Structure 1
């Protein structure tokens, strides 16, 4: 039985914690590894290593840092299948799906890193007084990245690129629910010692990391409750934070679209990765003119999401990450049914080993139900029939979450009106569309801190201005 270790200053070492936890495969319920509970001592050592390594890393020319990071990206790409297998073991994602997201994560990492070659770390401007102004964008120092369990490898890569390319060093703490693939990712590191460090554990590692007085930025993806605590703590000590928290993403379906094709697209957005995506489609508002055909097609699409172990090529829907998450999902469905919702398919915990839950379609839902107000993070598609596109937009905008939104319409005026949804990203006619130039900031309970493209470099650096006035030479009398 493998016991996972921390990576500190380029060396793998056991945690100072005396507590070990079992890591369970959610499809088989077998123990596949053990990981430490974490300790402040681990965090202190990792932060010290990051602080020590940071000046030397920052002194490297930008092109040399990019070369180091690109070399690591090549190594990761060469092991993408292995990393996808590990993600499947630890959190249930089908291997083929995991591989596609890891491939995308590596490409995104490379694109973000290459952005450093054109980012204005040094910018010289003419001064109005005849002098000159230079804007320097300095790295922050040692930073912390805390990642969630639903996309272990891609989420680490998404956070690290701009931080490292800017000259910062990083301590990463992955979710204790999926540390296996992240540990392997760091085994593949080709970076100088201390540039990236890994500490494992639960809140006993996470809390001291985000509270550490030598950490200059905290990049956190996770729950609203934890994000609030982190934001309050970092704000109190004037440390930057980037917080991507929960989502309850709406979908608005206009009357003029093909109900069958749109239902198939929405089924993917609601059920892929077993609904365990921050931008999963969790509230569906469909125009009454096509509602009956749409719901029928959505139920048909749900039936194609076969449950099973992600190593099986026939599997489309893997298990939820653990029993706790399945309990949350089923509680939302049960609450909806008790309040009058109708289950068209799914909604029953399968009698089999593993933490599986079927693709589920609900109608007759309303805003009194948990499934419409709280993040479900499971394969549930609740459908609300609306009388107009305008009603759909209004209801889509009425949430304390504001991460993403999707609108399906063939009406140009309606497409333009979709920009009014208070979301960080709004997709029109294609969920998850767009490229690496995407720039966004969540709002409300979904978090804070702009990211993507150059905004990620702005967040990873501190600008300073140096103004040089014209030299004056006095004339001897």
Structure 2
């Protein structure tokens, strides 16, 4: 049984809290690690360490901060297999899939850090200031816009992508000159602890990156701390509202990426078999435990029968097993609670008239497994169509037109992302109006390092990505400089 500790000011420390939390392998239902949940005192020490380290970190050149982040990224890349195995043990993600995501996270960290090299931390705007005398000479005055780091920031991550979520948030925060306290999910803290250890071994100065382990009470202590100037939170809508309330009360910032109920709209003109295979991947990969998983499928009636047959066939190829086995495609859900949510949603749909085309039942074996499931005959009275399922379930609705598909896709309290498959230019243009943060057309996922977006509705708030991430991580100040008046100078 491995015992995890907090990492504060460059040292490992056991939390002062008394509650011990176990980390359970969801494939075996056996605990393999444990830690003491951090208290408000632990959070105080971590924030103090981050605060002490921040001035010196901010005083480094941007190029030097980027260099140190690249060194950390290279170290992570060299330990990709190890990190993928840790993620598998703590939350079930198959190692092969995990390795791919770790590689993507490393590339993303480097790209985000490199954006600091061209970001305008300081720029000059010219022209007479408001209230200047008529006829004044603009050349004798200027205004410099200087963007300062916020200071101490916090990153609170979910359990489904511990490595990706930590690295995705940290690049702009650290490159901009902030220091960070990370609070990972209590369900998957092991890989996050290893990331922090690798950062220290890569030369990141003590106190720049700190780790506090704990549950929701620890998270609350972080979000309520007066010295934490920004909280980057990814998680549930309910928890996100609490974070937004806590930061708003003390006039601090928050960036919130919350739940999703992402729709996919399949038009009549596409290849139904190839598209069904793509949708199966988007709905079932990582056992459906992705914020942007395809959780509602609207398919045109002209290709519906063939699409449903192909989707059902594809679902049956997602073999269940321990993610440490290279043959496994579908690992377990993270814990019994999450599996109960998935089962409840499917059972509710069946009770209300839906048809199970594949999956739909808990297998009789150890581990928190649930098979890739395809449902038809669903409607909007069912939980599986209105609430975030976060499991390997693809509910399919047949629509009479592309326009109906878009309308129904937009009818949700969530607005994270959506995917559209169509070869019609007018339909592509119409898809861009969906009230979501990201629209993918003819490919699920994708987008370069310059992409930025903001979730809509209950899916969060705060633009992120590219320049928006640096805007959030800094505070602009205007410095107006007028040429000295000779009379005043005398």
Give the TM-score normalised by the residue count of structure 1: 0.99
Greater Cα offset, 111-120 or 466-475: 466-475
The question of whether the paired residues in 1 share the 8 Å contact of 2:2 and 2:34 is answered with yes
Separation (CA, whole Å) in 2 of partners of 1:302 and 1:184? 34
Partner of 1:192: 205
Equivalent residues of 2:110, 2:171 under 8 A apart: yes
Aligned to 2:257: 244
Corresponding residue of 1:289:
302
Q: Which residue of 1 aligns with 2:420?
A: 407
Using the alignment, how far apart are the partners of 2:292 and 2:482 within structure 1?
A: 50
Provide the residue aligned with 1:82 in structure 2. Answer: 82
Q: How many aligned residue pairs are there?
A: 477
Confirm or deny that 1:157 pairs with 2:170.
Answer: no
- The 1-side partners of 2:443 and 2:311 are apart by 17
The match for 1:257 among 255, 265, 270 is 270
Q: Is the 8 A contact 2:356 2:375 kept in 1?
A: yes
Q: Is the 8 A contact 2:150 2:474 kept in 1?
A: yes
2:133 alignment counterpart: none
In structure 1, the partner of 2:339 is 326
3-state SS of 2:333 partner: coil
Unaligned runs of 5+ in 1: none
SS in 1 for 2:432: helix
Structure 1 residues 12-21 or 372-381, which shifts more?
A: 12-21
Counterpart secondary structure, 1:265: helix
Trace 1:74-153 onto structure 2 (pairs within 5 A): 74-128=74-128, 129-130=138-139, 131-153=141-163
Q: Name the SS for the 1:311 alignment partner.
A: coil
Counterparts in 2 of 1:104 and 1:475: CA distance versus 1, 3 Å: closer
Superposed CA offset, 1:164-183 (max 9, x none)? 00000000000000001111
Residue 241 of structure 2: which of 228, 243, 250 is its match? 228
1:10-25 equivalences under 5 Å are 10-25=10-25
Question: Which of 183, 190, 197 lines up with 1:173 in the alignment?
Answer: 183
Instruction: Report SS of the residue matched to 2:76.
Output: helix
Partner residue of 1:55?
A: 55
Residue 441 and residue 476 in structure 1: after superposition, are their counterparts in 2 closer, same or farther (change >3 A)? closer
1:476–1:169 distance in 2 versus 1, CA, 3 Å: closer
Report Cα offsets for 1:313-372 as digits up to 9, x if no partner.
110000000000000000000000011100001010000000000000000000000000
In 2, Cα distance between the equivalents of 1:368 and 1:241?
Answer: 33
Aligned residue for 1:243, secondary structure, equals strand
Deviation at 1:59, TM superposition (A): 0.6
Structure 1 pair 240–476 and aligned structure 2 pair: CA distance change class (3 A): closer
Secondary structure, counterpart of 2:295 in structure 1: strand
Q: Which moved further from structure 2: 85-94 or 17-26?
A: 17-26
Give the match for residue 416 of structure 1: 429
Deviates more, 1:122-131 or 1:5-14: 122-131
Q: Deviations over 1:55-91 (max 9, x none)?
A: 1100111111111111111111110110000000000
Q: Give the alignment of 1:358-369 within 5 angstroms.
A: 358-369=371-382
- Give distance in 2, aligned partners of 1:476 and 1:178: 63
Tell me by how many angstroms 1:476 deviates. 11
Task: Provide the residue aligned with 1:317 in structure 2.
Answer: 330
Report the more deviating stretch, 321-330 or 22-31. Answer: 22-31
How far apart, CA to CA, are the structure 2 residues paired with 1:476 and 1:292?
84
Picking from 369, 385, 399, the partner of 2:398 is 385
The one-character-per-residue Cα deviations of 1:390-416 (angstroms, maximum 9, x if unpaired) are: 000000000000000000001110011
| Partner in structure 1 of residue 132 of structure 2 | none
**Equivalence for 1:40:** 40
Q: Which residue of 1 aligns with 2:389?
A: 376
Question: How much does 1:475 deviate?
Answer: 9.8
d(CA) in 1 for partners of 2:19 and 2:327?
Answer: 38
Cα distance between partner residues in 1 of 2:147 and 2:103: 31
Residue of structure 1 equivalent to 2:356: 343
2:352 and 2:459 mapped to 1: Cα distance?
A: 27
1:406-455 CA distances to partner (integer Å, 9 max, x unpaired)? 00001110011001100100000000021111110001110000000010
**Cα 1:476–1:175, aligned 2, differ >3 Å: closer, same or farther?**
closer
Root-mean-square deviation over aligned CA pairs: 1.1
CA contact (8 A) 2:21 2:186 kept: no
1:192-220 deviations in whole A, cap 9, x for unaligned? Answer: 00000000010121110000000000000
State the alpha-carbon separation in 2 of the partners of residues 2 and 428 from structure 1: 44
Structure 1 residue 124: Cα displacement? 1.6
Where structure 2 has 5 or more consecutive residues not aligned to the other structure, the ranges are: 129-137
CA 1:424–1:473: 2 relative to 1, 3 Å: same
* Deviates further, 464-473 or 161-170: 464-473
Matched position secondary structure for 2:364? coil
